């Protein structure tokens, strides 16, 4: 649709136009569910792009050293690190993911909890400080996300710290670099083809996490599903993040905020993106209504970690990157399986 435009939030005005930005954010999350975030302090899109391309240009034997155990049994990393293009899979991309490391002295962490697994970083040369750049950009994106959440809380008449408390101690957030190689006119038999003959390199989905900040590096290809059922291209915007929320934020606002379906199309050339996926701490209670000022006396805490495991392994069941991850808390049975009714009574 030629008249489709996303709202634009200039985050540099958060101190001078706080109420205005709060209203704009709330309106966007209640309607289209996607928006641009401009002027994020410290964001370095050029360095992120250079480092992403540097990594994905590495020979396969280098990438295999940080590949997840599911694809390279010689490695011990289950959750963080690299996963490759799988040629017979509908989604056609490769990714490198990392999180914020927690302290080795953290006595509360279960060693089996792969959410807090340390990232295996690739060996660097003198050209790019790959690890330093992306660890810095993680913190930049986290800081921006916290300010956005403060503005949203303000916009719905709540204290500005209402939404940020889940992310102050050991967030499970993931930073993901993605490369979408083109199909080159030979898509897999399992590839998804649109009605007008285009190939999909990332199938339609809603994000599972809380909030997402993506840099498209000015590439075309990202599309979102409109309320009228039409697919709308997200126009490239230089030095801007594309923001959307995931199922978790929608769930915790009882559907007031919208997790919007989106997809990525094959654009015929190598496509790169970097995304920050905001996630609360593993132990955070995500079974509450963030917009309610009263507490339900029958409320039973629902931890984020089991919620996420259930959503990715047993509900959506189309995330290749979650294949092979152990269900170390027996989520399917303990939290969401046959004993659920007993838990709620």
Q: What is the mean pLDDT of each run of 10 residues along the chain (345 residues)?
A: 79 96 97 96 96 95 96 96 91 95 83 93 85 96 98 96 94 97 84 90 94 96 93 94 96 94 96 97 93 71 90 78 85 64 45
Angle between helices 18-30 and 130-155 (to 10 degrees): 90
Helix (H, G, I), strand (E, B), or coil: what is residue 23? helix
Query: At 46, which CATH number?
Result: 2.60.120.330
pLDDT of amino acid 334: 74
- Continuous segment of H or E residues that includes residue 177: strand 174-180
pLDDT of residue 56: 97
Distance CA 227, CA 235 (A): 18
For residue 22, give Cα distances in angstroms to 10, 11, 33, 64, 135: 11, 11, 15, 44, 28
pLDDT value, residue 345: 41
Tokens of 141: 């994106």
Please give the pLDDT value at position 297: 65
pLDDT of residue 343: 43
Q: What ranges in 78-232 are assigned the alpha helix state H?
A: 130-155
CA 196 to chain centre: 28
Three-state SS for 334?
helix
Domain for residue 162, yes or no?
yes
Question: What is the span of the domain harbouring residue 312?
Answer: 9-336
In-domain check, residue 190: yes
302 domain residue, yes or no:
yes
Give CA–CA dist 140/100, Å, rounded. 12
What pLDDT score does 248 carry?
Answer: 95
How does DSSP assign 59-75, residue by residue?
-HHHHHTTB-TTT-TT-
Task: Return the pLDDT at 3.
Answer: 61
Model confidence, pTM? 0.93
Cα distances (Å, whole numbers) of residue 98 to 27, 51, 82, 158, 335: 32, 14, 9, 32, 27
Does 3 map to a domain? no
The answer to the question of residue 2 being in a domain is no
Q: What local confidence, expressed as pLDDT, does residue 185 receive? A: 74
126 found inside a domain: yes
Count of structural domains, the chain: 1
The confidence score (pLDDT) of residue 317 equals 64
Which pLDDT belongs to residue 42?
A: 97
């Amino acid at each position: 649709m030629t008249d489709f435009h996303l709202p634009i939030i200039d985050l540099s005005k958060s101190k001078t136009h706080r109420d205005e930005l709060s209203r704009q954010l709330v309106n966007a999350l209640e309607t289209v569910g996607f928006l641009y975030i401009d002027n994020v302090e410290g964001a370095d899109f050029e360095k992120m792009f250079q480092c992403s391309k540097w990594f994905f240009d590495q020979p396969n034997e280098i990438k295999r050293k940080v590949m997840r155990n599911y694809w390279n049994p010689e490695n011990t990393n289950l959750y963080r690190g690299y996963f490759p293009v799988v040629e017979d899979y509908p989604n056609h991309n490769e990714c490198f993911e990392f999180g914020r490391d927690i302290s080795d002295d953290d006595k509360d962490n279960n060693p089996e909890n792969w959410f807090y697994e340390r990232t295996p970083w690739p060996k660097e040369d003198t050209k790019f400080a790959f690890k330093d750049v992306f660890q810095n950009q993680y913190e930049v994106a986290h800081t921006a996300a916290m300010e956005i959440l403060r503005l949203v809380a303000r916009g719905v008449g709540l204290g500005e710290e209402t939404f940020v408390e889940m992310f102050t101690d050991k967030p499970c957030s993931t930073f993901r670099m993605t490369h979408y190689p083109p199909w080159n006119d030979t898509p897999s038999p399992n590839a998804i083809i649109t009605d007008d003959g285009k190939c999909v390199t990332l199938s339609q989905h809603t994000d599972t996490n809380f909030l997402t900040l993506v840099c498209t590096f000015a590439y075309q290809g990202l599309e979102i599903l409109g309320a009228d059922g039409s697919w709308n291209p997200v126009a490239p915007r230089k030095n801007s993040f594309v923001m959307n929320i995931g199922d978790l934020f929608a769930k915790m606002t009882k559907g007031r905020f919208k997790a919007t379906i989106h997809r990525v199309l094959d654009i015929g050339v190598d496509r790169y993106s970097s995304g920050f996926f905001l996630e609360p701490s593993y132990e955070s209670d995500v079974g509450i209504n963030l917009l309610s000022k009263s507490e339900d006396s029958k409320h039973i805490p629902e931890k984020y970690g089991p919620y996420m495991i259930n959503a990715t392994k047993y509900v959506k069941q189309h995330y290749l990157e979650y294949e092979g991850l152990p269900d170390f808390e027996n989520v399917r049975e303990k939290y969401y399986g046959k004993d659920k009714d007993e838990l709620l009574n």
